[in-house]
Amino acid sequence: MFEFEASYEIPNKLPLRFHGGKFRILSVSDLHGIVNYDKRLTRDLGALLDGVKPDLLLVLGDVADHDAVESAENLRGYLKDLNAVMAARDIPWAHVFGNHDCEAHRAFSQMAVYEEMSHCISKRGPQEIHGVTNYVLPIRAENSDEILFNVWLLDSHDWLGDYMHEYQLGDPGNKWDMQCAYPSCLHGWAAGYDTLRTDQVMWYFNGSRKFEQDAGHKIPGLMGLHIPLPEYRVIYQNPAESYYKGIMRETVGNSPVNAGMLNALVNRGDVKTVVAGHDHINDCEGLFMGIKLTYDAGLSYDCYCHDDLRGGRVFDLDASNPAEVKTYMVRSRDYVGA
């Protein structure tokens, strides 16, 4: 059960490789694109790509919102504009769904539209586990098929009410009633958001073991998802111990249910860096149990974001030591003006 299948290892197009011993990833999130989206979104995205020159763009959830997810036609029009920014620069991009992408259970039908895009290398994950965007992108050596680094991407779902409904707890007609299952200290923004499932954690765990078995050693990696893990709260509450730095202007919007993913990461020891979106005006990072937990702030002009934070997070990899991931924030205003 929860076996890792090799068919999910490799994207169908635009394979990822180190060049000159280097590989750069840019992560952005929370575009909240609508049909008549603010065109500063694609302007900023293009400027960031030109300035950073990444080898891979990650879009970590809430890619589309409101009317853009109401039909395949609406989504296709918006994604064509988005994809054109990457296609013009020949940069592959991959995404995970966020809570707004997933609302009304539209994520399954949306995936086919993403896969139509020329430079989108997102894949539908294994159908026997929860979620849609559960997949791994291997980054290979420049002149061989050796995998030097893995980018693990996970679907963090939407609202806790759906999770509770699966197990027939509470009132399935009112997701906010699920708050009654948790102490009042967990209410507020965190109370309603969903959690990873055990089968997703096991899919990563067994996949990590299989990569190690095939390679003869652990493959270092990065994990990206939309809703932050519960342990993100620890880095802010313990700044000295976590080497905390950056800005946190809103409460961590994690689920009150902890699926144990960070414990799995610590146990496996391959993924040392996690990046999340969801909380638009947080760009901080910190270390907990040897795992660096990071945000990439938000990029939207159609949803709340702060001009001084709007941008993305860079991850620089070196083929000589791919386990050492260097990361820092970049700002839209540095490339397009204040």
pLDDT digits (tens, 9 = 90+) for 252-304: 999 888 999 999 999 999 999 999 999 999 999 999 999 999 999 999 999 99
Mean pLDDT across the chain: 88
How far CA 326 is from CA of 22, 237, 273, 278, 321, in Å, comes to 12, 23, 10, 22, 11
Tokens of 98: 């966020």
* Per-residue confidence (pLDDT) for residue 174, from 0 to 100: 47
Arithmetic mean of pLDDT, 177-196: 57
Q: Does the structure show a pLDDT above 70 at 107?
A: no
Arithmetic mean of pLDDT, 29-51: 96
* Per-residue confidence (pLDDT) for residue 190, from 0 to 100: 52
Tokens of 161: 């009410």
pLDDT band at 164 (very low <50, low <70, confident <90, very high): low
Q: Does the structure show a pLDDT above 50 at 60?
A: yes
How far CA 55 is from CA of 16, 221, 336, in Å, comes to 8, 16, 21
CATH of 6-158+193-336, one of 2.60.40.10, 3.30.70.20, 3.40.50.150, 3.60.21.10: 3.60.21.10
pTM over 0.85: yes
> Between 149 and 255, whose confidence is greater?
149
The rounded percent of the chain whose pLDDT value lies above 70 is 85
Q: Does the structure show a pLDDT above 80 at 6?
A: no
d(CA 292, CA 127): 30
pLDDT band at 168 (very low <50, low <70, confident <90, very high): very low
- List the domain boundaries for the chain: 6-158+193-336
> Between 174 and 237, whose confidence is greater?
237
